[in-house]
C-alpha cells in the first residue's frame, strides 16, 4: 500500500529531475501543491532567468512529474 502523501510523491519525483538541472547550474524547489493537482515550483540558480526556463519547466519538470504522478494536472513556476 502506498502511504506517501501527494506532496511527498512530488518531492520524490523532483529529486529525480534535480540532477539534470544541477548539471547546468540550476535547481528547482517545491513551493506548494494544491488540492486540485497544481504543483508550484521555483526555479533557482542558472535556471532562474534562463531563456529556456519555460521549456525546462514544461518539457522537463512537468512531463516528469505527470509521468510519475498521474494526479498532477499542471506545474507552474513561481518567482
Q: Which residues of 48-62 are buried (b: 16+ CB within 10 A; e: fewer)?
A: eeeeebeebbeebbb
Bridge partner list, 42: 29
Helix (H) or strand (E) holding 8: helix 6-23
- What residue ranges do the domains of the chain occupy? 6-77
pTM above 0.85, yes or no: yes
Looking up cell 502506498, which residue turns up? 2
- Superfamily grouping for domain 6-77: Fe-S cluster assembly (FSCA) (3.30.300.130)
pLDDT single digits (tens) 25-56: 999 999 999 999 999 999 999 999 899 999 99
Provide CB contacts within 8 A for 79, sequence distance 6+: 42
Amino acid at each position: 500500500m502506498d502511504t506517501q502523501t501527494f506532496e511527498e510523491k512530488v518531492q520524490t519525483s523532483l529529486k529525480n529531475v534535480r540532477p539534470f538541472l544541477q548539471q547546468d547550474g540550476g535547481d528547482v524547489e517545491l513551493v506548494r501543491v494544491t488540492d486540485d493537482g497544481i504543483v508550484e515550483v521555483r526555479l533557482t540558480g542558472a535556471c532562474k532567468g534562463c531563456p529556456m526556463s519555460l521549456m525546462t519547466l514544461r518539457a522537463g519538470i512537468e512531463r516528469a512529474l505527470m509521468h510519475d504522478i498521474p494526479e498532477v494536472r499542471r506545474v507552474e513556476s513561481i518567482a
